[in-house]
Structure 1
Amino acid sequence: MSNQDQQPPWGKKQKPQTPEEIVAQLINKLQDFFSDKKKPSASPGDSQDPPSSPASPFANLGKLLSVILILFVLQGVYSSFFKIAPSEVGVVLRLGKYSRTTPPGLHFKIPYIDHLYKVDVENIRKEEFGFRNRMTGQETSFDKRGFDNESLMLTADKNVINVAWIVQYRVADPYAYLFKVANVRQAIRDNSEAVTRRIVGNMDFDYVLSNRELLAASVKKELQEQLNKLFPKGASGVNIGTVQFQDINPPDQVKPAFNEVNEADQDMKRLVNEAQETYNRVIPKASGDAKKIVEEAYGYQAERINNAKGETQRFNDILVEYKNAPDVTRKRMYLETMKDIMPDVQSVYVIDKDQQAPLPLLNISSAKGLPAIQSKATDTK
């Protein structure tokens, strides 16, 4: 297809369709703008070109300054509007002095006078001690090699322990975070390591191994206090969110011995628990039996005392009646005694004081439900 076929109707030129064509057209226009050569109009009678006048040395300079001014204005208009993401805030400095902090959204600033710094205040930053995360494709691995100078610590009982932990923090004051401390990250690392070493150094080896949550809470509290003391009025610009101990172990060189000690300690605890279980099963039962015996003894004591008091009172009452009527009282006591004895008697022997042998009596009580009366006679020779 020829160029004439590509031309639109009415003699209008086709507009460029690609970015390369737009750039090429812009370059051609700039070249034409800075070119001083003008095509002379050809007259039919002239056989020679008219002499060209000398070009002014300031003509091209004026055009260059005009273009620079236009670009300067366009750049200022473009940079006067800025956008803050939802998780960020903007810190605006006017002639190097703090002006304002802008929330998320679209804002305006004076070009070439205001300078903008964007700070992410929602992102949680973290510092790792004793290890580093390594991204291998889709998986994350922990690398502890070469970080012994951070993790090795000395406990209060002169033992060496390997501690790896993470400190997470968030920007609280964007202006202070940007301009009050030269290197906030290094300040957090130095203070965190100092605080952790001091706390671990004041604890025994076994306590550090079994109380990592308490140690993490203590490190978090003291680290924030230390930053507030070094940078008063929140000049550090950060708030400590979480301190988490990832790994607390003895060094690799002493791990076998430590495992043996740990196994012995576990056996000791197991035996202590078994003894405690036996104690809890036997001692309460023995205590209950002892209390039962004591209570029975108290009951027996009260019974004997009450019976003795009752018998004493009964004897005194009978004595009073006996003194008033001896014969009647004596007979009544005899009859009452015989009433209590006779139901249990199986044989009755009646002996006359004048006889030498028992008298044979007729057994007439067995048929009436009374005790049998038996007598045995022996022949006297």
Structure 2
Amino acid sequence: MGGNSSNGSGSKNNGPKNQGPWGQPPRGGNNNTPPELDELLRKSQQKLKQVLPGGFGPLGFVIVVALLFIGWLATGIYVVQPAEQGVVLRFGKAVSTSLPGINYHLPYPIETVLTPNVLTVRQTSVGTNARTGQAESHMLTGDENIVDVNFTVFWRIKADGAADYLFNVQQPSVTVKMIAESAIREIVGRSNLQPILTQARQETEENVKLLMQSSLDGYVSGIEITQVQLQKVEPPAEVIDSFNDVQAAVIDQERMVNEAQAYSNQVIPQAEGNAQQIVQRAEAYKQSVVAEATGQAARFISVYNEYAKAPEVTRDRIYLETMEKVYGRTNKIILDSDGNGVVPYLPLNELNKSNKGAN
């Protein structure tokens, strides 16, 4: 076996030196330079000899160096698209920013440029792991209930934060998602379950947005949160049926309360109106009684004054007036005891009736 190994190695070492790695002879006359490069250099020298007067001498060398230098300077020209912002790096450090259009920086490797898109609104979904499909949104509320929250965060690079976005945050999407999860858990942990499910959704979104923006600004991330949109807010699937029953009972309760409130709004104004009417009638009766009493008192005083002047005359007049009122509604004829001027057999009752009928 040793002899075979020696013969094999000898055949490899003793092969022709001009063969390639697979035994073929190299193409071209030069063993160290590929024929394509030799041909390219030869053609380039011929073109330079045609262009440069006197061949490729010192002047030609200067011209070539000048052209190469101009080409090197031209590498600093760059274009920033309308939705982008240029961040110029000098030896890797951000030194300035540039607006959309044609711009210039010092040639490579002195300066380079990065052009992140600052107008595109990116979105990050929170609640479900995209790789595993498992829920990440179970949270504990302030009243010790479990709620399942899925939401989407819309964000973009700040107008003046492109450099911060590129160098202060290593993985922006992951950072936004982690901060969003932390913010929603803090906000939900301070809130009760019922408002989050019903009327406080918009307030929850705004609070999460403000808290996220505060955290990102603390990291100097150059990221602006434009909107937080709650997609799903509900109890876990394991207890959703029981929760729906509770919600139905709450809805019935609210309906009954609203009906009672409507009835109250109808009855109370009516009762108040009736009470006001009774008060007004009593006030009118009071004024009437007071006025009548005042009139009677004034009449009594006037009669008393007349009586004080002529007691006998006043007494007779009052007596006659009283008798007139008492006997005015009767069919009796009262005569003086003397009967002067009266015919005893005159039918006074019939005459009286006829006089009343004539009147």
Give ranges in structure 2 of 5+ residues lacking alignment. Answer: 1-33, 44-63, 340-344
Q: Which whole-Å CA distance do the structure 2 matches of 1:312 and 1:167 have between them? A: 89
8 A contact 1:130–1:144 mirrored in 2 = no
Distance 1:345 1:371, change over 3 A: farther
Partner of 2:26: none
1:106-129 superposed Cα distances (whole Å, 9 cap, x missing partner): 112222121110011111122111
Q: Which whole-Å CA distance do the structure 2 matches of 1:266 and 1:33 have between them? A: 86
Distance 1:70 1:250, change over 3 A: farther
Task: Report the Cα offset of residue 161 of structure 1.
Answer: 0.5
8 A contact 2:156–2:226 mirrored in 1 = yes
Q: Which whole-Å CA distance do the structure 1 matches of 2:276 and 2:302 have between them? A: 39
Tell whether 2:249 aligns with 1:242: no
- Judge which range, 324-333 or 282-291, deviates more: 324-333
1:210-246 superposed Cα distances (whole Å, 9 cap, x missing partner): 21101111111122122223x2xxx211122111111
Partner of 1:256: 241
8 A contact 2:121–2:155 mirrored in 1 = yes
Q: Which whole-Å CA distance do the structure 1 matches of 2:255 and 2:280 have between them? A: 37
Task: Report the Cα offset of residue 295 of structure 1.
Answer: 2.7
Partner of 2:82: 86
Task: Report the Cα offset of residue 310 of structure 1.
Answer: 2.2
8 A contact 1:92–1:98 mirrored in 2 = yes
Residue 143 (structure 2) aligned to one of 157, 167, 179: 157
RMSD of the TM alignment (CA)?
A: 3.5
1:305-332 superposed Cα distances (whole Å, 9 cap, x missing partner): 3322321222122111111112332344
Give ranges in structure 1 of 5+ residues lacking alignment. Answer: 1-26, 37-67, 133-142, 373-381
Partner of 1:109: 105
Residue 121 (structure 1) aligned to one of 104, 118, 123: 118
Tell whether 2:334 aligns with 1:350: yes
Three-state SS of the structure 2 residue aligned to 1:123 is: coil
Q: Percent identity?
A: 33
Residue 217 (structure 1) aligned to one of 203, 206, 220: 206
Three-state SS of the structure 2 residue aligned to 1:189 is: helix
- What does 1:1-381 align with in structure 2 at a 5 Å threshold? 32-34=39-41, 76=72, 79-112=75-108, 113-131=110-128, 146-149=133-136, 151-172=137-158, 173-210=161-198, 211-229=200-218, 231=219, 235-334=220-319, 336=321, 345=329, 347-350=331-334, 361-369=348-356
- Judge which range, 261-270 or 92-101, deviates more: 92-101
Distance 1:128 1:317, change over 3 A: same
TM-score by length of 1: 0.68
Give the letter for the 1:221 counterpart.
Answer: L
Three-state SS of the structure 2 residue aligned to 1:83 is: strand
Distance 1:362 1:284, change over 3 A: closer
Task: Report the Cα offset of residue 88 of structure 1.
Answer: 0.7
TM-score by length of 2: 0.72
Aligned residues: 297
Distance 1:325 1:272, change over 3 A: same
